Structure 1
Amino acid sequence: MRVERRHIIYVQGYDPRGLAQYYRMFRTELRKFTALSGVKSNVGRPVSDAANPIATWTIDSQGPDWQTRTRYDFLRWEDLIKPDLEWPIWRTVIHAVAIYCQLIAAGTITKFRKAHWRFASFISYPQFMLVVEALACLLITLLFEQALRLAGLPMLISVIAAAACFVALLGSLLKLLESRTYVLYLMADTIFTWQFAHRRRPDWDQRIAQFAQRLVTTVRGSDADEIVIVGHSSGSFLGVEILSQALAIDPDLGRHGPRVMLLTLGGNLPIIGFLPVSHRFREDLKRLAVEPSIDWVDCQSRKDVMNFYPFDHVTGHGIDVGAAKRNPKIMTVRFRDIIAPENYTAFRRHFFRIHFQFVMANERPNAYDFFMTVCGPVSLRDRADHPAAALAIATGDGAARSEAWRQLQASPTDIAPADGAN
């Protein structure tokens, strides 16, 4: 199938930057994509209103022998995220530490480590940094307390003054270093995930229900060749929630016309699914594993500490559906093959930069290409099953493109069951 019309529904993760900064990044990365690929693309301005937490823009693209129009919906959460980040520092720290202790007690951290030790290290990183900063403040506080006692102050007064000094120092240090460490942001993310899994965030539940109903309406009235729900980072489990609720509203969702796809990028579904309380979420995964009208492609990378690799989001959660399993199709993304060699050493040092590469432009042609997925003529389903042919259509000469299209037409497209390292 040659795609001429595509509808992308982008589910961002727990990111307070929101529409303005995301659109700016999207436009910048699109320009890089066109420079690398030779594709001509024109992106429209986002359209949104205060009553609707969805922004929409269009991308018109043209290659050597194809052209596409993509409608891009950006689902907005920033109004729900910003109040979380305005909590007092002490409240964030106490809540995050308490949650981490519960994760240890329940054995969830151990499960994370067995599934992907890098993610276990990442989720423990804020606690480690908190201890380091607290020890530094404690050392200063002890020196301050000794100075007070040498000055002749009673022990009780010096201890109280030292305690107040410690709290003030730690809060100031956390705030001062936040732009480098992201400790408070990551703690807020942990708190949100925990609350969301325990159904203590009715504001998010209401927004997800709104988006699910919008998805049903969109599929019923769309003239697109394919509709792709893209969930990046924690947007992966939010995308699963939205799609699952849409299927509950309309079990025939993927049978109305456009093929409905779920694309998860840098996903961290176990952060919800491994919690003992998440029975409903695991049932959603079980349903998607066997749903014939929905194709699910999951892209993951060993280099990204914020996703799980190698990991099957169905079997990895202990879900056994036997031979009926058809989702997800796992695509391994090797960032070394995407980033220019001269930039790779600096690239690999920044975990947020690595994590966002899933939705940024390539520096080298590769079978994985987010903007070809958004703008190109090959369907996501074909791209997942036949990456070499998809790359040939993007980068080859006329003969190579014709042969690649012939291969796609000759091969029945069927998302194969994932083996954990496709």
Structure 2
Amino acid sequence: MSTVKRLVVLLPGFEHMPVVAHYRRFIREAAKTAPVYDMNLKETAPLSVATDEDGVAVGDFQFRASGENWAVETDFLLYGLGDITLFYASRNPAVRLFSGLFALIDFIVTGTFFRFVATSWRYALFFLYPILTIACILAISLSLAYAGTVVTGSLLGWILAPLLAILLFRHAARHMHLLLLMDDWTFARDMARGKRPQVMAKMDKVISDAAARISSASPETEIIVAAHSLGAICALPILATALARDPRRRYGLLTVGSSLLKVALHPAASKLRAAVAAVACSKSAWIDAQSLTDPMNFYKSDPIRNLALSSGKSPVRVMVRFRNQLREESYRTIRRNFFRVHRQFVFGVDKRTRYSWHAILCGPQPFAEIAACGGLPCDSQVRAEPEMEIARTAAT
């Protein structure tokens, strides 16, 4: 029995989490998924974390997955994008709030928001969520201030209104992820416009380091760049850089719950669109997993069509319904938490479907084969589910 060699570059989404936390989650959720897909998993090299001079941690660890008549050894490179995004969370709450508002206004003024509407109206609602939250806080505060003034006949209501607004903002930050969303939109604007040199320098370092490690892999090693959410805006430039170094090699790209279009639809994001075009015009296999349940991804989008690229092959789109992957009680606990639903793309599963983060990255099927088949093999009952849609489109 021969052993397949694989190198996976892991790029997390916009989460203020260190490499160790992402690693622990990967280990825990992979162990949950393994028996569902008849995999035996063994960690053959524990996590080793190195931090470069720019302060971005890189974690290395290795898995051996095996089953009946197959074995795969996968080297993982986990980049600490949280070391980059943590800059935004370290700022004063007022600065975080107003910089986020400024970013949202930028996306409206440049017409990017209206491109969201045309591409995925659900994502447009996600864009409006922080705006509506802030508007509700202000409306409640002002209404109660006015009512207090009318009842008491004094200015007490208006004196207490700022305090009430602060309390409501703190509640929204803690329980409704308001400041995280403000950071998220500020980061997206910075990436589109190339602002904040210290952040861009760290991103460029991640891109160049990952591309160099990919280029140094042996010819028989299968290469997969896997990104969740906003990690996709780093994945495409990494693959484009690797292709510039060796255009003959076939790479794999897995984007899940992708926020690629969040930045790429901004008119200033020309470099990112060029990276998308380079990957689309290569022989790389690209799988893009999307879900109707997740309001934070561009459901039923096609980056090639939506970016109006003149040439290139569209990704294989795997439409996932999380209800089909989880036990009913597990699904009920997450379905009303849209952040947790968004993270389900990188969490473990209870049932086989055509998509599983860990089965794709650790399992026996070559990535190009999974893309050609429209997803992982699964039993006929799941395959027949009407909610599980495999869509492949070609750019015209």
Q: Compute the TM-score of the two structures, normalised by the length of structure 2.
A: 0.87
Instruction: Give the percent of matched residue pairs that are identical in Structure 1 and Structure 2.
Output: 22
Deviations 1:253-292 (A, max 9, x none): 553xxx4211111112221121121222222222222113
Contact 1:262/1:297 (<8 A) preserved = yes
Moved more, 120-129 or 209-218: 209-218
Pair 1:304-2:294 in alignment: yes
One-letter amino acid of the counterpart of residue 337, structure 2: H
The residue number in structure 2 matching 1:184 is 179
Distance in 2 between residues matched to 1:86 and 1:166, nearest whole Å: 27
* Equivalent residue, structure 1, for 2:16: 16
Q: Secondary structure at the match of 1:328?
A: strand
Q: CA deviation at 1:214?
A: 2.3
- Alignment check: 8 A CA contact 1:85 1:185 kept: yes
1: CA distance between counterparts of 2:78 and 2:208? 15
Q: Cα distance 1:204–1:101, how it changes in 2: closer, same or farther (>3 A)? A: closer
Equivalent position of 1:155 in the other structure: none
Q: 1:29 & 1:229 partners in 2: Cα distance? A: 19
Equivalent residue, structure 2, for 1:375: 362
Is 1:122 the counterpart of 2:126? The answer is: yes
Distance 2:169 2:391 in 1: 45
The answer as to whether partners of 1:326 and 1:418 remain within 8 angstroms in 2 is no
Single out whichever of 127-136 and 210-219 deviates more from structure 2. 210-219
Deviations 1:165-213 (A, max 9, x none): 4444323322234232001110110011111211103233222322333
Counterpart in the other structure of 2:72: 68
Contact 1:378 1:390 in 2 (8 A): no
Q: Structure 1 residues 297 and 96, CA, compared in 2 at 3 Å: closer, same or farther?
A: same
**Contact (CA 8 Å) 2:215, 2:242: kept in 1 or not?**
no
State the alpha-carbon separation in 1 of the partners of residues 174 and 333 from structure 2.
Answer: 18
Trace 1:264-283 onto structure 2 (pairs within 5 A).
Answer: 264-283=255-274
Unpaired segments ≥5 residues, structure 2:
383-389
- 2-structure distance, mates of 1:3, 1:391: 23
Equivalent residue letter for 1:302: L
Equivalent in the alignment of 2:227: 231
Q: Whole-Å Cα distance in 2 between the matches of residues 388 and 264 of structure 1?
A: 13
Show the 5 A alignment for 1:150-161: 150=154, 158=155
Is residue 61–residue 68 contact of structure 1 (8 Å, CA) maintained in 2?
yes
Q: 1:287 aligns with which of 278, 282, 289?
A: 278
1:336 to 323, 345, 360: 323
| Secondary structure of residue in 2 paired with 1:382 | helix
2:46 corresponding residue in structure 1 = 45
Q: What SS is found at the alignment partner of 2:285?
A: strand
Equivalent positions of 1:189-200 (< 5 A) are 189-200=184-195
Q: Measured at CA, do residues 98 and 216 of structure 1 come closer, stay the same or move farther in structure 2, by a change above 3 Å?
A: closer
- Give the Cα–Cα distance (whole angstroms) in 2 for the partners of residues 319 and 390 of structure 1: 31
Aligned AA (1:45): P
Shift in Å, 1:54: 0.8
The code of the aligned residue for 1:272 comes to V
1:138 pairs, out of 127, 138, 142, with 142
How do 1:71-150 and structure 2 match up within 5 A?
A: 71-143=75-147, 150=154
In 2 relative to 1, CA 186–283 (structure 1 residues): closer, same or farther, beyond 3 Å? Answer: same
- RMSD value over aligned CA atoms? 2.6
What CA distance in whole angstroms lies between the structure 1 residues aligned with 2:12 and 2:206? 13
1: CA distance, partners of 2:193 / 2:364: 41
Asked if structure 2 preserves the Cα contact closer than 8 Å seen for 1:254 and 1:260, the reply is no
Gap change, CA 1:217 and 1:104, over 3 Å in 2: closer
Question: 1:419 is matched with which residue: 386, 393, 396?
Answer: 393
> Given residue 218 of structure 1, which amino acid in structure 2 is its aligned partner?
R
1:242 matched to 2:238? yes
For 1:388 and 1:10, how far apart are their aligned partners in 2? 19
* Alpha-carbon distance in structure 1 between the residues aligned to 2:375 and 2:265: 35
**Alignment CA distance shift 1:207-1:5 (3 Å):** same
Of the structure 1 ranges 9-18 and 87-96, higher mean CA displacement relative to structure 2 is found in 87-96
Task: Give the aligned length.
Answer: 379
Distance 1:365 1:389, change over 3 A: closer
Alignment match, 2:27: 27
Larger Rg: 1
- 1:170 matched to 2:171? The reply is no
User: Once structures 1 and 2 are overlaid, which stretch shifts more, 54-63 or 88-97?
Assistant: 88-97
Scaled by the length of structure 1, the TM-score of the pair is: 0.82
Counterpart check, 1:204 vs 2:199:
yes
Distance, in Å, in 2 between the alignment partners of 1:3 and 1:190 is: 43
* Conservation of the 8 A alpha-carbon contact between 2:355 and 2:376: no
TM-aligned CA deviation for residue 45 of structure 1: 2.6
